[in-house]
A = this chain, B = another copy of it.
Amino acid sequence: MAANAPRRVTMSDVARHAGVSRTTVSFVLNDRPGAAIPDETRHRILASIEELGYRPNAGARALAAKRSEWYGLITEIVTAPFAVDVIKGAQDRAWLDRKFLLIAASEGEAAQEAAALDKLLEQRVEGLLYATTWHRAVTLPKAAREVPTVLVNCYDADGELPSVVPDEVTGGHRAAAHLVAAGHERIGFINLDPGIPAAVGRREGYERALREAGITFDEGLVVSGHATADGGYTAACELLDRADRPTALFCGNDRMAMGAYDAIKERGLRIPQDVAVVGYDNQELIAAYLRPKLTTLALPFEAMGAKGVDMLAALAAGQPLDTTQVTVDCPLLERSSV
């Protein structure tokens, strides 16, 4: 089809127009070290490029140079807010190296994922980023081994592929320490489904913060629930109805915190005077719209995306990584719920 497409200007056209050989044009375009091109010639060539509106053909260049200048990113759901941030971080970082980011979605289906992977590999991407919606272990198709691959927000079940994940331990520690610093000693912890990395790591950080503050750990203050507003509500009720109710709640995510808000208000308690609340995830449109605004920890999606490309660049350059698992800090966003 589209055989009517006008022939584009090529390097040969430029060479002819400037009265030099194609090689010379290539040399000035890639300002090749070692090639001595007098300024006069160089400017003549640049002028021809300008005049003819020449634009290098990236595909041809990739073919000849055997380097595509592309990275691939596979994400579960393109529309998820998290994915967008990963994309932004990765894209901006890739742009620095003048690389393009090819984005493909798996939509959570294995077939789609395989197809996306195939497509990406056919484009000869120089590296692959694989991002998930929530921090967990994954197993990639073997095809992913054909090219440097970095996992983002997840890690290889086989422990072979490098990954970049949020630092859940420090996050949990930071949340608890923040509450301790605000004077709280009885801090309820509404954790996520125990067993997932986020729950395990944050609990570790939580316990360590208490230990450092000389507060004895009370197993009864730790409950876990569904990662929903309802789950948070139920768990919060359980904690708040204890005789020695906690004066602060650290919630596994913002939706759970939303449920906790309901439970707290329902009992006529005030936030943060009677019960302080810290969430997790920083889902803007929950955290910023709750009354009072929710203090929460942000998952560093953008930073993880950028770091992932960083690692890819290193791998592609043949440099070995110092660690196979990199963690990125979860910053605390102070609002009004503590």
Residues facing B in A136-194 (CB within 8 A) are none
Which one of B1, B85, B100 contacts A318 once the chains associate, using CB atoms below 8 Å? B1
**Stretch binding the partner chain, chosen from A116-124, A202-210, A327-335:** A116-124
Question: In this assembly, does A227 line the interface, its C-beta being within 8 Å of a C-beta of chain B?
Answer: no
Nearest neighbor of A121 in chain B, beta-carbon distance: B55
Contact (Cβ within 8 A) B100 A316: no
B79 close to A85 (CB less than 8 A) = yes
CB-based contact B78/A317 at 8 Å = no
Q: Does A114 contact B (CB under 8 A)?
A: no
Q: Is A103 an interface residue (CB 8 A)?
A: yes
Binds B, one of A56-64, A218-226, A233-241, A269-277: A56-64
The answer to whether A88 touches B79, judged by C-beta atoms less than 8 angstroms apart, is yes
Cα-based distance from A64 to B69 in the complex (angstroms)? 19
User: Which residues from chain B contact A79 at a C-beta distance below 8 Å?
Assistant: 84-85, 88
Shortest Cβ distance from residue A262 to the other chain B in the assembled complex, whole angstroms = 12
A90 to chain B, nearest CB (A): 10
Central interface residue in A8, A84, A121, by most chain B CB within 10 Å: A84
Main secondary structure of the interface of A (DSSP, over half): mixed
List chain B residues, Cβ under 8 A from A122.
55-58
B contact residues around A119 at 8 Å (CB):
100
The CA of A118 and the CA of B58, in the complex, are separated in Å by 11
Interface string of A44-59 (1 = CB under 8 A from B): 0000000000011111
A-B pairs, 10 with minimum CB distance: A285-B285, A59-B59, A58-B122, A59-B62, A58-B123, A79-B84, A78-B88, A79-B88, A60-B63, A59-B63
- Can you spell out 30 A-B residue pairs with CB atoms less than 8 angstroms apart? A1-B317, A2-B67, A2-B317, A2-B318, A5-B66, A8-B124, A55-B121, A55-B122, A58-B123, A58-B124, A59-B60, A59-B62, A59-B63, A59-B123, A59-B124, A60-B63, A78-B84, A78-B88, A78-B91, A79-B85, A79-B88, A81-B81, A84-B84, A87-B103, A88-B105, A100-B119, A100-B123, A285-B285, A285-B286, A285-B289
